[in-house]
Amino acid sequence: MRRVGLGNYPLGVATVLSGIQPTAAPHLGNYLGALRWWVEFQDAHDAYYCVVDLHALTVAGDPAELTRATTTMATLLLAAGLDPGRCTLFVQSHVPEHAELAWLLECTASMGELARMTQFKDKAARGGEGSARVGLFAYPVLMAADILLYDANLVPVGDDQRQHLELTRVLAQRWNTRYGQTFTVPEAAIAPPGKGARIMDLQDPRRKMSKTAGSPAGTVFLLDDPKTVEHKLKRAVTDTDPPGPGAVRWDPEHKPGVSNLVELLAALTGRQPEEVASSYQSYGRLKSDTAQAVIATLEPVQKRYRELSEDPGVVRSVLATGAERAREVASRTLARARQAIGLLPRQG
Ligand code: ATP
Ligand code: LTN
């Protein structure tokens, strides 16, 4: 049986859903941990991808910037290889069923289980837990709604989303036990170690590369020009081990900076990290080769992005069709959920 990508599902059998926040332009971590798998999965399965603008409201941001970033993100997703003929691409808030199912699921989740979410703890700690938005606390439940509305079997995400996926599974199972079979219980599709599931910040390799929490110099954005990419990689933090055999190795625990560069180069060229590491003795050459591999990957994406940006009507129409297709599926699932939980059907 032919199997594709990360999942254990035969071709064409699974439904895939994933989302990305329009908090800023996406970076290499988003690309290697999630987006390139989205592109791969659209050929193998029935795929739904959304720009999760409601999730972006969980942290402070400027309204005009959110509008702009939502369009930029959708354009970049198309530029990175999503094809509206092979997947459904939409904006989360265009499908109001997401917010409605999130409420029903909030009445299924407990305060205790949400308080354990490490992403909430990290993000809340930055601004003080007392002033963190209620939406930030409830965020994983909205994510569960995103997934369950489409009966998704597979959810391609980076390693940081493992805990949220586990919560989604728990909520789906609890609901099904309490109210009868309603939702498909999904599985996370996370890249194996060394394949880009958790790309680290180039300036602080103990923290993941992030749109909002990373350092600008340590985050390579998909729209960075070649000079910026070279500069960021040249300045990447490594360590003080002298050059020579064994200095370059894939050992994320003891050599996080060097291992991150090795993993980047391996993921970009489809090689194993150990094999990449063994072909280098100096950090300088590893950095310059990694920079070239990044530039080669980004160049076609940027070119396509510039072309698509010339006619914003194309992206708007892709999103309109996507929302319509998504709503058809989402409204059926929501109707099932409303009935299961006992809400009086609307007449007419
Ligand atoms: P923010 O900083 O706004 O929280 P983010 O950079 O973590 O954003 P998201 O929009 O939350 O990005 O995530 C989109 C996808 O990219 C998710 O599947 C997430 O797991 C993945 N992802 C995010 N950061 C990384 C990373 N450093 N390495 C690999 N995958 C990542
Ligand atoms: N929580 C995710 C973004 C996200 C998502 C989703 C991912 C929102 N809804 C549904 C997969 C499926 C994040 O922060 N990276």
Alpha-carbon gap, residue 259 to 265, rounded angstroms: 10
Q: Do 331 and 271 share a structural domain?
A: no
Prediction pTM value: 0.94
- Which pLDDT score is estimated for 43? 85
274 part of a folded domain: yes
- Kindly give, in sequence order, each residue whose CB lies less than 8 Å from that of residue 54, ignoring residues fewer than 6 positions away: 92, 93, 98, 99, 142
- Which pLDDT score is estimated for 110? 97
346 part of a folded domain: no
- Find out whether 280 and 241 touch, Cβ atoms under 8 Å: no
What is the number of other CB atoms lying within 10 angstroms of the CB of residue 187? 18
For ligand 1, atom 8, name the residue with the nearest CA.
211
210 part of a folded domain: no
Q: Do 222 and 181 share a structural domain?
A: no
- Find out whether 196 and 32 touch, Cβ atoms under 8 Å: yes
Q: Do 149 and 63 share a structural domain?
A: yes
**Helices of type H across the chain:** 28-30, 36-44, 53-56, 63-79, 97-106, 111-115, 118-127, 134-148, 162-179, 226-234, 256-269, 273-278, 283-309, 312-341
- Find out whether 4 and 44 touch, Cβ atoms under 8 Å: yes
- Which pLDDT score is estimated for 291? 98
Substitution site in 6, 91, 160 for ligand 1 pocket (most atoms within 8 Å of beta carbon): 160
**Helices of type H across 96-225:** 97-106, 111-115, 118-127, 134-148, 162-179
List per-residue pLDDT tens for the chain, 348 residues long.
334 444 566 666 799 999 999 988 899 999 999 999 999 999 878 999 999 999 999 988 999 999 999 999 999 999 999 999 999 999 999 999 999 999 999 999 999 999 999 988 888 888 777 888 999 999 999 999 999 999 999 999 999 999 999 999 999 999 999 999 999 999 999 988 888 999 999 999 999 999 888 889 999 999 999 999 999 999 999 988 887 788 899 999 999 999 999 999 999 999 999 999 999 999 999 999 999 999 999 999 999 999 999 999 999 999 999 999 999 999 999 999 999 999 999 887
Q: What is the CATH number of the domain that holds 235?
A: 1.10.240.10
Kindly name the residue from 121, 195, 211, 227 that is annotated as catalytic: 211
Substitution site in 54, 164, 168 for ligand 2 pocket (most atoms within 8 Å of beta carbon): 164
- Find out whether 50 and 90 touch, Cβ atoms under 8 Å: yes
Q: What is the CATH number of the domain that holds 12?
A: 3.40.50.620
197 part of a folded domain: no
Q: What CA dihedral angle connects 207, 210, 213 and 219, to 10 degrees? A: 90
Give bridge partners of residue 10 from the DSSP assignment: 3
Cα(155) to centroid(ligand 2), Å: 9
24 part of a folded domain: yes
Contacts 24+ apart (CB under 8 A), 115-123: 117/163, 117/164, 117/167, 118/163, 119/160, 119/163, 119/164, 122/213, 123/58, 123/59, 123/213
Q: Do 238 and 337 share a structural domain?
A: no
Closest to 322 (Cα-Cα) out of 153, 150, 190: 150
Reply yes or no on whether 121 is catalytic.
no
Closest to 189 (Cα-Cα) out of 42, 26, 37, 43: 37
Reply yes or no on whether 227 is catalytic.
no
- Which pLDDT score is estimated for 10? 67
78 part of a folded domain: yes
Q: Do 178 and 41 share a structural domain?
A: yes
Q: In ligand 2, which atom is closest to the CA atom of 146?
A: 10
Q: Do 135 and 241 share a structural domain?
A: no
Q: Do 239 and 184 share a structural domain?
A: no
Q: Do 116 and 90 share a structural domain?
A: yes
- Which pLDDT score is estimated for 146? 98
348 part of a folded domain: no
- The residue range of the domain holding 152 is 3-192+312-341
Q: Do 88 and 232 share a structural domain?
A: no
Nearest ligand to residue 52 Cα: 2
- Kindly give, in sequence order, each residue whose CB lies less than 8 Å from that of residue 191, ignoring residues fewer than 6 positions away: 6, 32, 33, 37, 158, 159, 197, 267
- Amino acid symbol at 245: P
Alpha-carbon gap, residue 147 to 125, rounded angstroms: 27
Alpha-carbon gap, residue 151 to 142, rounded angstroms: 15
Alpha-carbon gap, residue 166 to 183, rounded angstroms: 15
Q: In ligand 2, which atom is closest to the CA atom of 55?
A: 8
Q: Do 140 and 41 share a structural domain?
A: yes
Reply yes or no on whether 303 is catalytic.
no
Q: Do 321 and 226 share a structural domain?
A: no
Report the residue count for the chain. 348
Q: In ligand 2, which atom is closest to the CA atom of 21?
A: 3
- Which pLDDT score is estimated for 199? 96
- Which pLDDT score is estimated for 159? 93
- Which pLDDT score is estimated for 1? 33
Instruction: Give me the number of domains the chain comprises.
Output: 2
Q: Do 149 and 49 share a structural domain?
A: yes
270 part of a folded domain: yes
Give bridge partners of residue 155 from the DSSP assignment: 188
